[in-house]
Amino acid sequence: MCDFCRKHAEKYGKWYLNPKGYSEELFYKLTLLDRILNRRPLREREMWKYSDAAWYPLPISKTLGLVDLAAKPLIGGLVRVIGNVIAVREHAGQVVPLEDAYRIVELSEKQALFPCMCKRLFKGDDEYKCLNFTPAPDFAEKHPRGWRVKWLEREEAKEKLEEFSEKGYVHAVFWWYGLPQVICVCNCDVRYCYAARPRLWYGIRKAYVKAEYVAEVDQDRCSGDIPRCGNCVARCQFGAITLTSKGASVDTYKCFGCGQCRFGCEEDAVRLVDRNTHPIAKGLW
């Protein structure tokens, strides 16, 4: 069980399946100071501040500038410690497979797609693939210049998740005011993801935590009529699955448990197992 589940899952198994994480009560608790001071909640103020053309690239660039320091030899360790603390308190995510993303949508009250801000920054285009839950879309719509969000019915949201999965995007559940408040399921191309990059490049682990699962390959099935087809390899954004003379093989240390490799396999040879009971992966978050 990851640290987050240990603290916040209660009887629900995983922190993001705890209905409390979607409740107004929790939101009011997390924004108590703002209400005492009679001002808009912090994230809404941030949206107001940065919701013009430069609204997101500006703070995100500053963040990445700081994150870059994690690569420096002497201060890197300290920056990683601070980065991990900030990630847990502020806004970071955990990888989830498609099945858990569906369960998250079931728990959320209202759903809306935002353009992926990371991709806007790094690639310069808008792709509506960040599935947000109340209150983020409400904040966005209140803004005088108005953010364009696309409201979805629950079933439409699930269809969108399936569509993103077909494209090979990694689903990740994000918190916003700190755990266990759930704010969105992002559908990530990790090359552009400002949560995944600090993790993959600089080891800021809690910016993008591995899933509660890890992949395993059934070698007997893999070496069937289409041995070493490599479809699973092509779908892994983390370089965690490779082909060997015996078939596909998962590097347990690299695997984030996203489950995308499964969807490329016509032999049904890849499955996700519980990370918590895996002899090696249980210590790798």
Tell me, by CB under 6 A, how many residues bind ligand SF4: 29
Q: Let me know: does 193 contact 240? Beta carbons within 8 Å.
A: no
Q: Which one of residues 212, 215, 275, 281 is an interface residue with ligand SF4 (CB under 6 A)?
A: 215
Helix (H, G, I), strand (E, B) or coil at 91: coil
- Residue 87 or 250: the one with the smaller Cβ distance to ligand SF4 is 250
Q: Smallest gap, in angstroms, from Cβ of residue 195 to ligand SF4?
A: 15
φ, ψ at 131 (rounded to 5°): -90, 105
- Residue 199: closest CA among 95, 74, 57: 95
Could you count the other beta carbons within 10 Å of the beta carbon of residue 85? 11
Q: Write the CA distances from 5 to 8, 10, 195, 211, 250, integer angstroms.
A: 5, 8, 20, 11, 25
Q: Which one of residues 231, 242, 282, 285 is an interface residue with ligand SF4 (CB under 6 A)?
A: 231
| Exposure b/e, 86-119, CB count within 10 A at least 16 = b | bbbeebbbbbbbbebbbebbebbebbbbbbbbbb
Residue 137 touches ligand SF4, criterion: CB under 6 A: no
Q: Let me know: does 92 contact 175? Beta carbons within 8 Å.
A: yes
Instruction: Give the whole-angstrom CA distance, residue 56 versus residue 38.
Output: 25
Sign of the CA dihedral with 21 first, then 44, 190, and 71 last? negative
Could you count the other beta carbons within 10 Å of the beta carbon of residue 167? 12
Residue 93 touches ligand SF4, criterion: CB under 6 A: no
Residue 265 touches ligand SF4, criterion: CB under 6 A: yes
- Residue 136 or 261: the one with the smaller Cβ distance to ligand SF4 is 261
Residue 236 touches ligand SF4, criterion: CB under 6 A: yes
Residue 167 touches ligand SF4, criterion: CB under 6 A: no
6-14, 19-27, 127-135, 214-222 -> range binding ligand SF4 (CB under 6 A)? 214-222
Q: Smallest gap, in angstroms, from Cβ of residue 73 to ligand SF4?
A: 29
Q: Which one of residues 47, 101, 193, 250 is an interface residue with ligand SF4 (CB under 6 A)?
A: 250
- Residue 43: closest CA among 173, 164, 175, 161: 175
Residue 195 touches ligand SF4, criterion: CB under 6 A: no
111-119, 147-155, 199-207, 264-272 -> range binding ligand SF4 (CB under 6 A)? 264-272
22-30, 82-90, 157-165, 247-255 -> range binding ligand SF4 (CB under 6 A)? 247-255
Q: Smallest gap, in angstroms, from Cβ of residue 166 to ligand SF4?
A: 14
Q: Which one of residues 27, 164, 202, 238 is an interface residue with ligand SF4 (CB under 6 A)?
A: 238
Instruction: Give the whole-angstrom CA distance, residue 165 versus residue 175.
Output: 21
Contact footprint for ligand SF4 (CB under 6 A): 215, 217, 222, 226, 228-232, 235-236, 238, 240-241, 247-248, 250, 255-261, 264-265, 267, 269-270
